[in-house]
């Protein structure tokens, strides 16, 4: 899920944008060790992008 203000229409475009702005983008998780956290870290690693993880206390906040 991507915020509507982010000007991308595909996963490839999101990766390209993140690579062009290292350290400026982030992703939310529902806490350390959650499936969303692990999936986000796997995506970050496989896409070779530098994004920050923001931990929330549960899925409803994330």
Q: Is residue 18 within 8 Å of residue 48, measured between CB atoms?
A: no
Tell whether pTM > 0.75: yes
1 contact partners, CB below 8 Å, separation of at least 6: none
What is the structure's pLDDT at 31?
Answer: 85
Q: What is the pLDDT of residues 13-52, one digit of tens each?
A: 999 999 999 999 998 888 888 888 899 999 999 999 999 9
6 contact partners, CB below 8 Å, separation of at least 6: 14, 17
What CA–CA distance (Å, rounded) separates 6 from 24?
12
pLDDT band at 60 (very low <50, low <70, confident <90, very high): low
> H helices of the chain, where?
11-20, 35-47
Q: Is residue 57 within 8 Å of residue 44, measured between CB atoms?
A: no
pLDDT for 1 beyond 70: yes
What is the structure's pLDDT at 3?
Answer: 86
């Amino acid at each position: 899920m991507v915020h509507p203000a982010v000007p991308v229409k595909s996963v490839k475009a999101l990766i390209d944008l993140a690579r062009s702005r290292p350290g400026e983008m982030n992703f939310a998780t529902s806490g350390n060790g959650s499936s969303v956290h692990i999936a986000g870290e796997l995506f970050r690693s496989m896409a070779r992008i530098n994004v920050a993880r923001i931990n929330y206390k549960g899925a409803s906040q994330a």
